[in-house]
Amino acid sequence: MANHKSALKRAKQSEVKRSINIGYKTRVKNVVKDVRSAIAEGSGEKATESLKKAVSVLQKTASKGAIHKKKASRKISRLALQINQLSSK
């Protein structure tokens, strides 16, 4: 464990930030799962609505720094691609 006062404070701050980031990442996993389940059902309208919500959550999480902005963009892009393939069928 840390010995200096500043190192102890940094450890506490890191622990708080870590717990906050876990919450953001859980939200991301849940909205992505919702989009994928809507795609699996084959309902394009429901998938599109859930994608809109997912885009918002992913961008907000990336802006907070919990995930990298390119990771968020990659997830959005791949989900949109799957929905577009579903719509073209």
Please give the average per-residue pLDDT across 46-56, as a whole number.
96
- Residue 89 DSSP symbol: -
- State whether CATH 1.20.58.110 applies to domain 5-88: yes
Give the model's pLDDT for residue 48: 94
pTM over 0.75? The answer is: yes
Residue 86 or residue 29, greater confidence: 29
Ranges of each domain in the chain: 5-88
% the chain with pLDDT above 70: 99
Least confident among 2-6, 17-21, 31-35, 36-40: 2-6
User: Which amino acid makes up residue 48?
Assistant: T
How confident is the model over 21-35, as pLDDT tens digits?
Answer: 999 999 999 999 999
Separation between Cα atoms, residue 72 and residue 49, nearest integer Å:
18
- Residue 65 DSSP symbol: T
Residue 43 banded pLDDT, cuts 50, 70, 90: confident
